[in-house]
Amino acid sequence: MTDDALRILHLSDTHLYGDGRLHYGIVDTLAGLDRVLARAGSLAEVDVVVASGDLSDDGSADSYRRLKGTLEPWAAERGAAIVYAMGNHDLRDGFEEVLGARETVTAVRGFRIVTVDTSVPGAGYGSVDSAQLDRLRQVLATPAENGTVVVLHHPPVAPTTLLFETLRFVDPEPLVDVCAAGDVRAILAGHYHHGLVTEAGPSGIPVVVAPAVANTTDVLWPPPRERAVRGAGFAWVQVPVDGPVRAHVVTAPAPDDGATVYDLDAEAVRRIADDAGWRG
């Protein structure tokens, strides 16, 4: 990889709480974030830290302050920018109070990083409206020197496991088409709680889904059950000025990795779909 590449530490799904409680009653997500950052500390250079949604689990301002107080000193030591995106667990008021606007444009070394808010209040699935597509189209109308990276929470590609079928990005094709018509080099997402590197649309835009900080989806667990285990990680993404995007999925090991966080039967998955899934 050449020295002119944009070097991105891509985190997702930190699921922090304002009061420090444990996720699912057993996972210390703030400790998981500390472990991920310690592991990523061995990276020689980082230009930008991307946090692609579900940053909070309770949506409280205090949870975002915990995130900001952890990420920003780490990034500042390395001269790295930070980009935050909204997820379905995030709440707009707390996010905007502490982290700022929900859709942003950030310039880093001739690259442009654009966030798109795919969250739908009260729902687990993702969507974008015509106004958001127009805004993205207008941003991309003027090419960036080295191209654009789009950051959102819900991946614009099919899910791997049954739980996310009704929690998916609904009708992502218009967004992918807007990206393909512009200078988008890569799309970074989260939500699925497992690493995934694939492509979106006929033009094959690279899509990098970061593993979660909070827990890891077991992609080999037989349906209709859904399982997540202890485990945290990140994606290390390099976007060169010219040439293909490279991404590595990196774990931040702990002694209890692999222990079950939840194991949902078909009825439990159906209840989540009924409560937060797409019904269209």
Distance from C-alpha of 170 to C-alpha of 154, rounded to nearest angstrom? 9
Task: Give the pLDDT band (50/70/90) at residue 280.
Answer: confident
Nearest to 151 by CA among 6, 2, 44: 6
Task: Give the pLDDT band (50/70/90) at residue 2.
Answer: low
pLDDT at 84 over 70: yes
Of the chain, the percentage scoring pLDDT greater than 90 comes to 98
127 in Cβ contact with 170 (< 8 Å): yes
Q: How far is CA 71 from CA 67, 79, 214, 258, in A?
A: 6, 12, 15, 26
pLDDT in the model for residue 41 = 96
pLDDT in the model for residue 3 = 74
DSSP of the chain: --TTSEEEEEE----B-TT-PPBTTTB-HHHHHHHHHHHHTT-S--SEEEEES--BSS--HHHHHHHHHHHHHHHHHTT-EEEEE--TT--HHHHHHHH--SS-EEEETTEEEEE---B-TT-SSB---HHHHHHHHHHHTS--SS-EEEE-SS-SS--SSGGGSTTSBSS-HHHHHHHHHTTEEEEEE-SSSS-EEEEETTTTEEEEEPPPSS-EE-TTSPTT-EEEES--EEEEEEE-SSS--EEEEEE---TTTT-EEEEE-HHHHHHHHHHHS---
Q: How far is CA 256 from CA 35, 80, 229, in A?
A: 13, 31, 9
Residue 65 Ramachandran class (φ > 0 left, ψ -120 to 50 alpha, else beta): alpha
pLDDT in the model for residue 143 = 98
Quote the tokens at residue 175. Answer: 């967004």
Distance from C-alpha of 267 to C-alpha of 265, rounded to nearest angstrom? 6
Mean pLDDT computed over 108-115: 98
Encode pLDDT of 3-61 as tens digits: 789 999 999 999 999 999 999 999 999 999 999 999 999 998 999 999 999 999 999 99
Encode pLDDT of 115-138 as tens digits: 999 999 999 999 999 999 999 999
pLDDT at 76 over 60: yes
Residue 161 Ramachandran class (φ > 0 left, ψ -120 to 50 alpha, else beta): beta
Please state, rounded to an integer, the average pLDDT across all residues of the chain. Answer: 97
pLDDT in the model for residue 212 = 98
pTM, whole model, 2 decimals? 0.97
pLDDT at 207 over 70: yes
- Domains of the chain plus CATH, in order, are 6-276 (3.60.21.10)
Encode pLDDT of 146-200 as tens digits: 999 999 999 999 999 999 999 999 999 999 999 999 999 999 999 999 999 999 9
